[in-house]
Structure 1
Amino acid sequence: MLSRRILLFSLSVLTSILVTTACQTNSQTSDSSQSSQPGEKAPHEVVTSPNPDWVQFTPPIDCTLGEDCFTLLYVDRDPSDNAQDFACGRQTYDTHKGTDFAIPNEVAMNQGVAVIAAADGTVLRLRDGEPDRRLRTPEDIAAVEEQGRECGNGLVMDHGDGWETQYCHLKQNSIVVESGQQVAQGETLGLVGLSGKTTFPHVHITVRYQGEVIDPFVGVTDETGCNLERRPLWEDPIGYEPTGILSAGFAAEDLSLDRLWRGDFTDVNLSDDIPLIYFWVHGYGILEGDVEHFRLLDPEGTVITDYEQTADQSNLNWYNGVGKRNTNQRPILPGTWRGEYELRRDGEVIVSLEREIEVQAVR
């Protein structure tokens, strides 16, 4: 879904697109029946040590969370047809059984991001050879489901005492371990890919104990639902980041979600004869009522666009941008262009970034 608005001499591209295989556009953002009083911690913020007999895990990806990879989706803890993550947020979809650690785009994927063992264990079984492709239509998704290849390239590890992990969506022909092999925590298993039932490059990890799915942000419990006291399985704490920016930059062509996931605008070179210039952001976890504020400044410091938009719905994944057309009356100037972006929630800035690009003179 793409809408365009002409703002005087600038062009703003405004988009809100959900990208999950379940195509969920609405889910709850809080559980009012379990809300805490002002100044008190919500139940999910109360974290205690895990049982010493439980296996503890590290993230299954070799990257720096919040910088070059992101915790994009969490386990669905709602037993109904709705979907909620452990914090009563909406970064999940119905029946999602794992945690998705995403990378910004296919450029990063092709450079190679290692999937690593979350704990010591033995490889039980694996599959490789499935193609990497971003699913775009319900027909694409149905075809993968009919084949029973939702996990794509992946493997299952046994960690003893009833604990297992499953890793999905690895890159085609990247798995470097074999069935029966003993693997140490942190050892490379393969590479992040786009195989199976997926719409973005990531590794999905499912933790199971005695055959039951366990949310690693919560620990072993018979309780369902969200906003409960937690005993996480992570060796080192992983913060809850329900909203963030995957990538941001500039472009001289029309934007699309497909092109952003491909990484088409990762390293662009612009000149002053381009037809237009966009400043864009690609993010996750925007909520209805969030306010996006864009500013685009030319090399003389003139504010070309100063634009705010209030999100009219929540989306797991979205992109947005502002820009300017190149005209004889108001040309795109050579020099350093700057884009500024803020995302506000309930009056508080939760995301703030700047990007610059040098536009070369050719005229």
Structure 2
Amino acid sequence: MRQTLQSAIKPLLLVSVFLVFGFGAASAQQKRPPKLDIPIKCTLGQDCFIQHFVDMQGGSKAADHRCGFLTYNNHRGTDIRIRTLKDMEAGVPVIAAADGVVGNFRDDIKDHYFSNYPPEKRKEIYKIGLGNAVVLNHGNKWSTFYAHLKEGSVTVKKGQRVRKGDILGFVGLSGVTDFPHLHFDVRHRNRTVDPFTGLEHDKGCGKATFSMWSEMAQRELKYTPTYFVNTGFSETKPKGRQDLESGEKKEKVLNPAAPTMFFWSYYIGSQKEDQVSLRITGPDGRKLKAYNPPRMTKNQISNTFWVGVKRPPAGWRSGTYRGEITVTREGQVFKNESLIVVQ
């Protein structure tokens, strides 16, 4: 089975007005743009991932700085996501990417999936856009925005000087967003600049002048076109992406009396012509169930698939069951797997 996420995040031109007002000028003017460290305390590729880059294409078509598909039309920032709401509740710190002065902040917006709000409330939240956020000024008209923070988590005040690495707040789900993440936006004279290329957001893909990231950050910020966010087993069928994103769905041990077993995966970076395959194998290595959907017909930021099997008449055999998903693309194979035990 398959479920596709259509991002609820929309390009908002006015959402930062509240935050821009009240900017304080940093006393030390920088001749060059600030060198940036990664603005979140997590391990990229393990417990956090870049889901969206800045849209560099402009116009009606979107493209990230590598001319890839990990963005959407008019997206002005870098979205670093975490795996689950459970991780969000545990607390993932958002940190200053460079020394600066707090220009403004907001800290009282509820953490909630934007698509789950009723229509009238959605209109209200749309105007807020970035949700809870902190703005840092770095001198010479450079600033960084840290958005969609957890309600009540902001640790700084307007006018406060902060050092690179200081905690500003924690990753949340506030404002116009449908997944837990940090939206990180670099601006010069209030125009978004892509930190990977040093170019303004509409200057075209496949180009670069310089990287704004520090050498350490560049080593960690590897471009990954496809990665798996959550893969696992459960007794019951997933209700959708949000169910898998809760952090409560995955099971390591299956009740021997369970009537069904489901293997599922939620991944980022689905491309046209991809061939996806899911398979469940039993303790003896034999295939129990497979699902091979048709090739993908378009590029999509994310996809969710699952396959299920009913308990055999003789019951579940004791041992370890393996689920595997493969995404095959022009000779490249992306794989992920998970295990569940019946005792």
| TM > 0.5 | yes
Equivalent residue for 2:41? Answer: 62
Residue aligned with 2:114, SS: coil
Question: Distance in 1 between the 2:149 and 2:174 partners?
Answer: 6
Within 5 A, what are the aligned runs for 1:212-361?
Answer: 212-220=191-199, 224-235=203-214, 236-237=217-218, 238-255=221-238, 256-267=240-251, 269-309=253-293, 310-328=295-313, 331-349=315-333, 351-360=334-343
Kept in 2, the 8 Å contact 1:194–1:202? The answer is yes
1:92 is aligned, of 71, 80, 86, to 71
Instruction: Confirm or deny: 8 A CA contact 2:268 2:301 kept in the other structure.
Output: yes
Q: CA RMSD in A?
A: 2.1
Q: Structure 2 counterpart of 1:250, which letter?
A: F
Asked if the contact 1:73/1:92 (under 8 Å) is kept, the reply is yes
The whole-number CA distance in structure 2 between the counterparts of 1:174 and 1:185 is: 18
- Check whether the contact 1:154–1:167 (CA below 8 A) recurs between aligned residues: yes
- State the identity %: 33
The residue that corresponds to 2:176 in the other structure is 197
Name the SS for the 1:352 alignment partner. Answer: strand
Deviation at 1:154, TM superposition (A): 0.7
For residues 305 and 332 of structure 1, do their structure 2 counterparts lie closer, same or farther at Cα, with a shift above 3 Å needed?
same
Aligned length in residues: 317
Contact 1:21 1:141 in 2 (8 A): no
Which of 169, 181, 186 is the aligned partner of 1:207? 186
* SS in structure 2 at match of 1:136: helix
- 1:72-100 CA distance string (max 9 Å, x none): 00111122122111111121111211000
- 8 Å contact 1:271–1:334 — kept in the other structure? no
SS of the residue corresponding to residue 143 of structure 1 reads: helix
Letter in 2 for 1:273: A
1:344 and 1:222 map into 2 onto residues whose CA distance is: 31
- Residues 202-245 of structure 1, C-alpha deviations (whole Å, 9 max, x = no match): 00011001222101111045971111134111113122222111
Structure 2, unmatched stretches of 5+, are: 12-29
Query: Are the counterparts in 2 of residues 20 and 316 from structure 1 also a CA contact under 8 Å?
Result: no
> Contact 1:72 / 1:242 at 8 angstroms: preserved in 2?
no
From 112, 124, 127, the counterpart of 1:143:
124
Could you report, residue by residue, the CA deviation over 1:260-298 in whole angstroms, capped at 9, with x for unpaired residues?
Answer: 122231455421211211111111110011111222111
Task: Give the letter for the 2:242 counterpart.
Answer: D
**Whole-Å separation in 1 of the counterparts to 2:201 and 2:41:** 32
Counterpart selection for 2:163 from 184, 197, 213 = 184
